[in-house]
Amino acid sequence: MSAPDYSETSQTGHDSQPASWGTWAESHEGLECLKCPEPHVCPVSEGQTVAVGGVGGELHTELKTLAARNACTGSMRPEDNSWELARDLKAVPKRIGRKVSIPELMLTFDEWHWLSESFLDAGRSRDQYWMGFLAQLQKVRVPRGEGTVNESLQYASKLTGADLPVTPSYGDAIEARKIAALHRELARRSKKKDKRYFLSYRDAAKVCDGLSHQQAHMITFALASVGVIEIVNKGKPGLNSGEAAEFRYLLSQSEKPRREA
């Protein structure tokens, strides 16, 4: 399997990682230092884990697993796949008790790029994808598995029947009621005075199995039309835009569940 040669970059060590990728990477020196090295072939027997540039053991395996999990398959744009990888990587430092080093970032990216290559734009170089990936890392606000949205999703997805909010003029459609329940829970957890909160349509879709983000988008606008929620800010489209839509829940947060007759 192909793997990058980190013999030069690993000498800088973990402590050399800049505090801000955006500012440092914009300089000429930053661009040169952050260029992804050309891969070399490491003959490895199947199942064997080899340390690369000081990256080895369980972390090495985990990083390669994250890269494989988010590799392009043609169902999403490459930028969307790399954004999901960035979210996964942002959650790693909390588990390992330190920042992810540059060689570790390169290892993960290189594996992702190698697995995704047949779906990438031939007109974009490896370094262009690498720099774009670093920019995405800076934009991630909520790592995978963390934050109010994830906690609200876990709660709302388990609600059934009478525990779900009543959606006026929308009948008993379970998808609409579960998305409304997600909005209600986010409003309850919001720390803002007017109880506004952020939610992406991709996250909203996770409240129901098999629901696409396009369907979640349509249901969300329908809920706004019947007065369940208010769309405060539509945000910016795109998985890696860094700006989710902003909402307010308009029904009572303490509403009594509807009981079946």
Task: Check: CB of residue 119 under 8 Å from CB of residue 74.
Answer: yes
Residues whose CB is less than 8 angstroms from the CB of residue 45 and which lie 6 or more positions away in sequence, other chains included:
none
The two tokens of residue 120 are: 């990438």
Integer Cα distance of 91 and 147 in angstroms: 11
Give residue for tokens 């303490």.
Answer: 254
Q: Is 53 left (phi over 0), alpha (psi -120 to 50) or beta?
A: left
| pLDDT at residue 28 greater than cutoff 60 | no
Structural domain spans, the chain: 2-139, 148-249
User: What pLDDT was estimated at residue 95?
Assistant: 82
The two tokens of residue 163 are: 């525990």
User: What pLDDT was estimated at residue 49?
Assistant: 38
Q: Is 74 left (phi over 0), alpha (psi -120 to 50) or beta?
A: left
pLDDT in tens, 128-149: 999 999 999 998 877 776 678 8
User: What pLDDT was estimated at residue 254?
Assistant: 59
Per-residue burial over 77-89, b if 16 or more Cβ lie within 10 Å, else e, is ebbbbbbbbbbbb
The two tokens of residue 18 are: 């800049």
Is residue 207 very low, low, confident or very high in pLDDT (cuts 50, 70, 90)?
very high
pTM of the model: 0.48
Task: Check: CB of residue 186 under 8 Å from CB of residue 239.
Answer: no
Burial class (CB in 10 A: 0-12, 13-18, 19+), 38: exposed
pLDDT in tens, 46-89: 443 344 444 568 899 999 999 999 999 998 899 999 998 998 89
| pLDDT at residue 35 greater than cutoff 70 | no
Is residue 190 very low, low, confident or very high in pLDDT (cuts 50, 70, 90)?
confident
Residues whose CB is less than 8 angstroms from the CB of residue 30 and which lie 6 or more positions away in sequence, other chains included:
18, 24
Q: What percent of the chain has pLDDT over 70?
A: 70
* Nearest residue to 64 (alpha-carbon basis) of 72, 55, 73: 55
